[in-house]
A = this chain, B = another copy of it.
């Protein structure tokens, strides 16, 4: 562990910002906004602003976004994906990631994945509302989807989309269960279990509604396949 520099972060009291992260892990930090106060977010974004780095905030609500943007106007807010982005260094997008959803309700999670993948340097193509209840819609898009290096399959309710796709390709699939549904969907648990139990190998899974990690992981793989990381 000779390259672990234990001093390699910025201590701002309530938080230890991982400023050495780009060096250590290759990518800028992302900030999980959900449980942070507006003042904490402003302080965090200002710190990154001052350091000249890019930063991505996820799960930010409108009120948080307004507060941050009022103080640091370069920050962009995407209301569908609920992301805050501060881009101070240009991002070059590589390769291709296909992001598919089962229904329209899954779009916010898919957009979080898309914003994340693009922020970290991947090209993204979107295929929305192609779930298995009308499977011909998926088949109509399949040839295009198979041009990607990685596929992200976002689905709630029964969550079978990813398994059907994985069964037709040799491309790595990352499945994201969403909390869309009611009754026994148990806020995404049903979709999660479907994905974990899929008979179609080559698919791995992330947490319910975790578009961010899906986009991040897909980006890691896509960039390595594209030969840039």
| Residues of A near any B CB (own CB < 8 A) | 1-2, 4-9, 13-16, 18, 20-21, 24-27, 30, 32, 34-36, 40, 59, 102-105, 107, 128-137, 139-140, 142-143, 149, 157-160, 163-164, 167-172, 174, 177, 179-210, 212-214, 216-217, 220-221, 224-225, 227, 229
Nearest 7 pairs between A and B by C-beta? A35-B105, A183-B208, A26-B170, A204-B204, A160-B160, A190-B193, A133-B199
The contact sample of 18 A-B pairs, CB cut-off 8 A, is: A1-B142, A1-B143, A4-B168, A6-B136, A13-B128, A16-B137, A24-B136, A32-B105, A35-B104, A36-B105, A59-B182, A134-B167, A172-B224, A182-B208, A201-B212, A202-B220, A203-B217, A224-B225
Q: What is the total number of copies of this protein in its complex?
A: 8
Which residues of chain B have C-beta atoms less than 8 A from A190's C-beta? 193-194, 196-197
Which residues of chain B have C-beta atoms less than 8 A from A20's C-beta? 136
Give chain B nearest CB distance to A170 CB in angstroms: 4
Give chain B nearest CB distance to A78 CB in angstroms: 15
- Complex alpha-carbon distance, A179 and B24, angstroms: 30
- Complex alpha-carbon distance, A5 and B168, angstroms: 11
- Complex alpha-carbon distance, A221 and B30, angstroms: 24
Which residues of chain B have C-beta atoms less than 8 A from A136's C-beta? 4-6, 8-9, 20, 24
Which of A20, A133, A163, A186 neighbours the largest number of chain B CB atoms within 10 Å of its CB? A133
- Complex alpha-carbon distance, A168 and B172, angstroms: 23
